[in-house]
Amino acid sequence: MSTIVDFLGGDHRACDDLFASAEDAVAQNNWDSARSLFERFQAAMAHHLAMEEKVLFPAFEARTGNSMGPTQVMRMEHEQIRGLLQEMANAVADANHGRYLGLSETLNMLMQQHNLKEENMLYPMSDQVLGGERDDLIRAMEAVSP
Amino acid sequence: MKSKEKVPESPVRIMHRFGDGTPSCNRLFLCASVPLCLCASVVNALWLQDKAGRAMSQQAGLSFEQAPPFALPLRFFLTAPLFLLAAAGLIVWDPEALASRWTPPALAVTHALTLGFLAMVMLGALLQMLPVVAGASLPAPRFVAWFSHVSLTLGSVALMAGFLTAAPAAYGIGIALLGGGFAVFLAAASISLAHAVAGVTVNGIRFAVLSLAVTLLLGLALALLRAGWWMPPAVETAIAAHATFGLLGWVLLLVIGVAYQVVPMFQITPPYPPRMSRWLAGALFTLLLLHAAVLLLFPAAAPIVDAGLAGGILLFALATLRLQARRRRKLPDVTLDYWRLGMASLIACVAVWLVAQLWSTWAGSNAYPLLLGVLFIGGFAVSVVSGMLYKIVPFLAWFHLQAQLQARAGSIPTMKDMIAERWTRWQFRLHLAACALLTGATLWPQLAITAGSVLALSALLLWVNLLSAVRRFSRHGGRFS
């Protein structure tokens, strides 16, 4: 089975891909396509955040005995991401082109710098400290519901 | 914190111990020892503070603290455009600035751009970026930001005054301030980088910071020479190495290291080819060392080393343009335009260099080094840095505002609301026109005043644009520290 870096890093790429497709549809004012792509993007994001918050972070915190460190910062940024996603959903519902693109630019920066911290630091550390139970963790993450 | 470190011997006592009593020698020791003593005590204090901080943290090696307060990097970003404006003002005031790279106003303009604008933004950006990309924040960030910002600002002004007036006192103040300010920053950055999580970006930043140290030491020696206090050996090699380590080491290697992260991130492109990102920064740094050695020992072999550097530059510029052509986000974006202009300018630098290899009259002209300088500093470095400011400042304004107010995303301005897109677009056009006019002015000097005036407008609008983000941040209740 793969490492946590590869598994969750790969999921970041899949989310990025849906994000770009939805933004592209909005940019072209193709609202039917934008609505369905945004829904898929939002669902993929909800699943990704749930995999981390329900499986990875608790395991990491239990193993390192630290729940106020990196995972705490990541949870705070997840809340910021959720806030932007909610506003983007409203912009899609209102077919508000300018509003969506302002929010999506902000979400992209927030999400990318967040992913950087996870992929450069948190995931490699998780692979290190959770090595033995890694396969079980990945199976549990795949099965998680948002 | 109170530390028990030994207080460094005062510069005056060192001067008395080593100086031969002549006034010029005393001044030399005074100037040289101020930054060195400062560096020694600061390294010591920062190291102790860093150790204490790490002992308290259960996650040594993984400092995940939130971003530093907005005020820390922001002061660098808001000061930098004023030096761009000063450089433009000097060109308008004395068009001799573009007659040869050796005229006093040309040296003042060059250092206004490299120290006052480029280094200013780059230090601020590193303060912000190191915790994110390397998981290692700088020790004592508030002190380091305050001290290096004040020293770099006043030191750049003093050095420019030195070039323009040839007053030894101005050089002396410049040496002490720039030496001290960079020493503190380099000490803090080294501690942070020593604990950093390894990666291609951190690798690039390490070589860039090393190049900055080399550039600084050579620059201090050359300033002592201009002040008439010391005659360093191999002056011509020292000048060449100062310029190449500064521009191709510090500036280019930092841009390369940062590009590995931000180019794929801003536009969602594929990553840089892994083999290239692993080797390029180290290879270019090795070539810079070789370049200095060859100039000193076998000058005839210099073009071979230069060809290697040109090849590396071309590879980076073409790889970046290729990735950007394959981007997933196709929306118009001023930062993308700035990066493309920057990469095109790098390719133009290589072309201008190639012509000089084939045509010796061109290689020996005053216009050749000036044109290379305009293309590299203005066309490449100022462009990339301006493009980055248009992402970093609006994002930090949004990020800090949201975190401070715990605001619903709909109740605060988005990144795009922070600076009106129309004005960033106008500022890019002015910058593009300034680059074209400056390029022309190296060949037709009568263009210099127009070029300087357009550059001044571009600098002013950059400043106004950045201030508009800060004003929105503050109007919505954001706090700076």
Q: Does the beta-carbon distance from B329 to A70 stay under 8 Å?
A: no
Domain that includes residue A84, residue range: 4-143
CB contacts of B391 in chain A (<8 Å) are 109
- Region B433-460: what's the mean pLDDT? 97
Q: Is the pLDDT of residue B6 over 70?
A: no
Quote the minimal CA–CA distance from A56 to chain B in Å.
17
Percent of chain B whose pLDDT exceeds 90: 76
- The residue among A43, A9, A6, A20 whose CA lies nearest residue A107 is A20
**CB contact, 8 Å: B199 with chain A?**
yes
pLDDT value of position B46: 53
Q: Is the pLDDT of residue B106 over 80?
A: yes
Of residues B58, B133, B408, nearest to A83 (C-beta): B408
How many domains, chain A?
A: 1
- With a CB-CB cutoff of 8 Å, which residues 317-356 of chain B face chain A? 328-331
Distances (CA, A) of A141 to A99, A133, B2, B83: 33, 12, 48, 52
Q: Does the beta-carbon distance from B199 to A24 stay under 8 Å?
A: no
Residues 6+ apart with CB under 8 A from B369: B101
Quote the minimal CA–CA distance from A117 to chain B in Å.
6
Q: Are B346 and B380 in contact (CB under 8 A)?
A: yes
Q: Are B274 and B323 in contact (CB under 8 A)?
A: no
Q: Does the beta-carbon distance from B415 to A109 stay under 8 Å?
A: yes
Which pairs from B161-169 meet CB under 8 Å and 24+ separation?
Answer: B162/B223, B162/B226, B162/B227, B163/B104, B163/B105, B163/B107, B163/B108, B163/B111, B163/B226, B164/B104, B164/B105, B164/B108, B166/B104, B166/B226, B168/B27, B168/B227, B168/B228, B168/B229
Instruction: Determine how many CB atoms are found less than 10 A away from the CB of residue B54.
Output: 14
**CB contact, 8 Å: B62 with chain A?**
yes
| Chain A residue closest in CA terms to B330 | A24
- Region B62-84: what's the mean pLDDT? 84
Distances (CA, A) of B432 to A15, B81, B267, B450: 36, 16, 22, 13
pLDDT value of position B407: 80
**CB contact, 8 Å: B403 with chain A?**
yes
* Dist CA A93 CA A87 (whole Å): 10
Quote the minimal CA–CA distance from B409 to chain A in Å.
6
Residues 6+ apart with CB under 8 A from A36: none
Q: Are B419 and B41 in contact (CB under 8 A)?
A: no
Q: Does the beta-carbon distance from B415 to A102 stay under 8 Å?
A: yes
pLDDT value of position B137: 79
Q: Does the beta-carbon distance from B330 to A109 stay under 8 Å?
A: no
Q: Does the beta-carbon distance from B135 to A120 stay under 8 Å?
A: yes
Residue type, B332: P
- Region A3-23: what's the mean pLDDT? 96
Of residues B57, B197, B414, nearest to A121 (C-beta): B197
pLDDT value of position B143: 96
The three-point CA angle A49-B63-A62 to 5° equals 55
Q: Does the beta-carbon distance from B266 to A113 stay under 8 Å?
A: no
B51 vs A6: which has the higher pLDDT: A6
- Residue B236 in tokens: 């011509």
At A145, the pLDDT band (50, 70, 90 cuts) reads confident
- Residue B165 in tokens: 């007036």
| Chain B residue closest in CA terms to A108 | B266
* Dist CA B433 CA B256 (whole Å): 25
Q: Is the pLDDT of residue B35 over 90?
A: no
pLDDT value of position B68: 86
At B379, the pLDDT band (50, 70, 90 cuts) reads very high
SS3 for B479? Answer: coil
Q: Is the pLDDT of residue B51 over 60?
A: no
**CB contact, 8 Å: B197 with chain A?**
yes
Percent of chain A whose pLDDT exceeds 70: 99
- Region B86-100: what's the mean pLDDT? 93
pLDDT tens per residue across span B193-241: 998 888 899 999 999 999 999 999 999 999 999 999 988 888 999 999 9
- Region B315-336: what's the mean pLDDT? 96
Residue type, B361: T
* Dist CA B360 CA B303 (whole Å): 13
CB contacts of A109 in chain B (<8 Å) are 265-266, 391, 395, 415
At B17, the pLDDT band (50, 70, 90 cuts) reads very low
* Dist CA B302 CA B350 (whole Å): 15
SS3 for B101? Answer: coil
Mean pLDDT across chain B: 88
Q: Does the beta-carbon distance from A120 to B199 stay under 8 Å?
A: yes
| Dihedral sign computed on CA atoms, order B269, A84, A10, B198 | positive
A98 vs B24: which has the higher pLDDT: A98
Instruction: Please list the alpha-helical segments (H only) found in B19-70.
Output: 23-56
User: DSSP string spanning B294-344?
Assistant: HHHH-GGGHHHHHHHHHHHHHHHHHHHHHHHHT-S--S--HHHHHHHHHHH
**CB contact, 8 Å: B415 with chain A?**
yes
* Dist CA B104 CA B117 (whole Å): 19
Q: Is the pLDDT of residue B57 over 90?
A: no
pLDDT value of position B430: 98
Q: Are B356 and B368 in contact (CB under 8 A)?
A: yes
Q: Does the beta-carbon distance from B197 to A105 stay under 8 Å?
A: no
Q: Does the beta-carbon distance from A69 to B403 stay under 8 Å?
A: no
Q: Does the beta-carbon distance from B403 to A66 stay under 8 Å?
A: no
User: DSSP string spanning B178-246?
Assistant: HHHHHHHHHHHHHHHHHTPPP-HHHHHHHHHHHHHHHHHHHHHHHHHHHTTS---SSHHHHHHHHHHII
Q: Is the pTM of this model over 0.80?
A: yes
Q: Is the pLDDT of residue B59 over 80?
A: no
- Residue B26 in tokens: 């005393």
Q: Does the beta-carbon distance from A101 to B65 stay under 8 Å?
A: no
pLDDT value of position A69: 80
Q: CA Rg, chain B, in Å?
A: 22
Q: Does the beta-carbon distance from B134 to A76 stay under 8 Å?
A: no
The three-point CA angle B149-B38-B204 to 5° equals 60
Quote the minimal CA–CA distance from B386 to chain A in Å.
17
- Region B56-80: what's the mean pLDDT? 70
Of residues A101, A109, A121, nearest to B135 (C-beta): A121
Residues 6+ apart with CB under 8 A from A37: A18, A21, A22, A25
- Residue A12 in tokens: 């970041």
Instruction: Determine how many CB atoms are found less than 10 A away from the CB of residue A48.
Output: 20
Q: What is the CATH number of the domain that holds A133?
A: 1.20.120.520
pLDDT value of position B22: 38
Q: Is the pLDDT of residue A65 over 90?
A: no
Q: Which of A117-121, B251-255, B421-425 has the lowest mean pLDDT?
A: A117-121
Q: Is the ipTM of this structure higher than 0.95?
A: no
What is the 3-state composition of chain A as percent helix, strand, coil, each rounded to the nearest 5?
90, 0, 10
At A132, the pLDDT band (50, 70, 90 cuts) reads confident
DSSP assignment letter at B98: G
